[in-house]
Structures are given as structure tokens and as C-alpha cells.
Amino acid sequence: MFQVKSIKIDIFEMGKISRSEEIVKKQVLVLYVGGTIGMKKNDDGVYVPVPHIFYDQLKSLPEMHDSGLASKYFPDLADNQLVLPQFENNVILYQLVEYDPLLDSSNLTMSDWIKMANDIKANYNDFNGIVILHGTDTLAYTSSVLSFMIKGLQKPVIVTGAQISIFEIRSDAINNIQNSLILAGCYQIPEICAFFDHKLLRGNRTTKVRLTKFNAYRSPNYGPLANAETAIELKDGNIMKPDPAVPFEVTTTLNSNVRVITFFPTITPSMLESVLQEPTAGVVIQSYGAGNIPSNQPELIDALKKAVARNVLIVNITVCLQGSVVSIYDTGKVLADIGVISGRDMTLEAALTKLCVVLGYPDLSHDQRVELLKQNMRGELTPLDVTDDNNNNNNNNL
């Protein structure tokens, strides 16, 4: 493993400049999980991940690998390492770890989240930051669940992907990988993030809103952490300031007995009951507007009430993309009154994965789990006493 260190070199360029400049070596681990970013069409004409070709493709692209810098600073390059062209005074060495099998992210399961979390844990001390190359379909679930699984994070972990494969013309892969490597290698952003289309977003505030556009993601209730346009501009006020005294820890015990109920006008009590029955341990309700459900149908309320009495944890979020659950109508207060927890402005991805993690913690009482769900654990929700203005919520251009 290379040491992260800085070295002095003399730069003498075309007789114009003669000065001493500090070159800083950075190291980034890249976990390549799968996704369109590395896919090709198969014989049926549909996209699938193809193993063992991504590294060579990166190596062949001058934007992704600078062989001159590599031989100058890293003459003993391993066969999964590459060197990004110099960014300011940083030379970033990155190491690609390809998952086996590579996955379309629609095929990901909980065990893949656990594998990623374990890989982050195993390599955390050896790298300046970590980048995960991931399919776009469930990227927001992964960036959300990792944020809850990992505590005391002091370095960037950036999940990114692409809408067009790196093997095709007009791919957005190069831009997304380059910026993710630079942000992960050279900046102090102690968060699980999602990078896409020139924006760095908080992972557990991110959701996929567009199928075919390059700007596929939005963070509807929280401002970006950074913009990577012609200059990289960090939004310091939006970035977490973790307590250095909190040790780095990864939890890998997740509870999969978590469901989602989206309300719709023709929902029946028996539909609700079938989702709420054992072994269901946690439920995310996607309600209307400010957190409302039909309050004039006692059987629906009763089904929820019985589940709460069995200690099923029920978190209420709004089906609206933007805004926060608040009891301003009788149709919303009815949920709060029976012990349903307000999920405030959490995304579906954040609410579901938070439940998986909080229910998975061993040795917690039911009341402690309820308290954690109400809390802003990793910047995933805006507490009741924080207004939109001091939430830095300047991301209203949906």
C-alpha cells in the first residue's frame, strides 16, 4: 500500500515558470458494484454488466489514466491501480475493486449493502476517500442505507453511476467518476454522498427522479454539498461537522422485515392488514400531502392501531417529493394520535433503510428505537424546530 504523503518537486515549464510546487499524493478506493456505467448490450439487445473489461477501458482513456504521471510517481503500479490526470497539486492514485458478480442495481439485495459496508470498513484507514460505482436504479437506497450503517465517518464515501455506459459515446461516466475521485480524494466531506451531473448530494437526501436525463437525481429537501461546474464549490454550510470523538463504527445487522404502504383512495383495511401482519417489524407509510390518510374510515385506523400495539414501528412520510409531514389536518393528526412516527421530510429510501438499520440494532428497547427514528441521525430529516431557511434548503428548482 502506498503511503499518503507529499513530496516536493521542481516544475520548469517551457522556460516560463520556475518554481517549487508541492505535489500531494492521494489515494481513493473504487468499489465497482455494477450498473449502466459499465454495461454493454447482450445478444438480446439489452444492457447487462460485463465482467473484467472496466479496468482496461479506464486505462485506455487519457481522462482517466495518466501513464506519464503513473510512471513518475507510482512506478510499481499494481494491476488494479490507475492514476488520474493531475488536479491542482494533487495526484490521485485509485484502485479498482470489481465486484463478482457485477449487478444491475435492480438486482441488489441487503447482502450487497452489507458487503459494501464491510469493504468500506476494511479499507477505511488506507484511503483518503472511497467511490462506489453503482447502477442508478437503487443508488439512493444504497447511499441511504450506508449512511445509517456507518457511524463516525470522517472521510468522503461517494456513490455514483452513469446514464450512458463508459463504452459508448457521450457517456457521462467520465465526468461522474473524475469528479467523484477528486471530491473523495482531495476534500474533507465526512459524509456518504451521491454524485451525479455536477452535483454532490447528501446520500440519504437523494432520490432518482428522472429516467433518461443526465440530472437524474434530486435532493428535494436539502441543498447540495458541492457543485462541480467549471470550479468545484463546496457548500460548507450544508456539510456535516462530525464530532471527532465519535469512533468509526459499522453495523451490519439489518432487519429485512420492513414494508412500504402507499395510500391511494381505494385502499381497503384487508390490504393494510396483509402488509402489517407478522413478521412485519417496520412500515413506511407514504401518505398524502402533509401526512394525511382517510380519517373517516375507522377500520383503516384500527388496522394501524393494532400494528402499533404489537410494537410494529410505523413511520409516516409524504408521497410528495418536497415538504415535511406535519399534523395540520385531522387526517394527519389521526396517525400521530395512534403512535405513528412522523418521518418529517425523509425520502422513501431514507425512511425504509433507517427502519432496516434501527430495527437491526441488537439490544435496544422498543422505546429507544422509536426515539432514534424520530431523531435526525445522519442529516436525513429536518427536525420540527428547523425552518426551511436555516435548513439551507435552496434546492427548489425541481
Instruction: Decide if residue 207 touches ligand ASP (CB under 6 A).
Output: no
**Of residues 95 and 163, the one with the C-beta less far from ligand ASP:** 163
Instruction: Decide if residue 291 touches ligand ASP (CB under 6 A).
Output: no
Nearest distance, CB of residue 224 and ligand ASP, angstroms:
20
Q: How many residues would you count in the chain?
A: 398
**Residues in 70-129 that interact with ligand ASP by CB under 6 A:** 104-106
In single-letter form, the type of residue at position 178 comes to Q
Nearest distance, CB of residue 208 and ligand ASP, angstroms:
9
**Of residues 128 and 163, the one with the C-beta less far from ligand ASP:** 163
Residue 368: all three cell numbers together: 429507544
**Of residues 176 and 331, the one with the C-beta less far from ligand ASP:** 176
Report how many residues bind ligand ASP under the rule CB under 6 A.
Answer: 11
Listed ranges 109-117, 131-139, 300-308, 357-365: which one lies at the site for ligand ASP (CB under 6 A): 131-139
Nearest distance, CB of residue 348 and ligand ASP, angstroms:
16
Instruction: Decide if residue 161 touches ligand ASP (CB under 6 A).
Output: yes
The question of whether 36 is a catalytic residue gets the answer: yes
Contacts of 168 (CB under 8 A, 6+ apart): none
d(CA 30, CA 357): 24
Instruction: Decide if residue 38 touches ligand ASP (CB under 6 A).
Output: no
d(CA 199, CA 194): 8
Nearest distance, CB of residue 357 and ligand ASP, angstroms:
22
Residue nearest to ligand ASP (CB): 135
d(CA 191, CA 241): 9
**Of residues 124 and 217, the one with the C-beta less far from ligand ASP:** 217
**Of residues 127 and 217, the one with the C-beta less far from ligand ASP:** 217
Instruction: Decide if residue 135 touches ligand ASP (CB under 6 A).
Output: yes
Instruction: Decide if residue 136 touches ligand ASP (CB under 6 A).
Output: yes
Nearest distance, CB of residue 45 and ligand ASP, angstroms:
15
Instruction: Decide if residue 302 touches ligand ASP (CB under 6 A).
Output: no
d(CA 229, CA 5): 28
Listed ranges 33-41, 118-126, 183-191, 360-368: which one lies at the site for ligand ASP (CB under 6 A): 33-41
d(CA 89, CA 80): 23
**Of residues 135 and 203, the one with the C-beta less far from ligand ASP:** 135
Tell me if 350 sits within 8 A of 376, measured CB to CB.
no
Tell me if 293 sits within 8 A of 263, measured CB to CB.
yes
Residue 200: all three cell numbers together: 454532490
Listed ranges 32-40, 92-100, 311-319, 371-379: which one lies at the site for ligand ASP (CB under 6 A): 32-40
Listed ranges 92-100, 135-143, 343-351, 380-388: which one lies at the site for ligand ASP (CB under 6 A): 135-143
- The residues that are catalytic are 36
Chain residues binding ligand ASP by CB under 6 A are 34-36, 104-106, 135-137, 161, 163
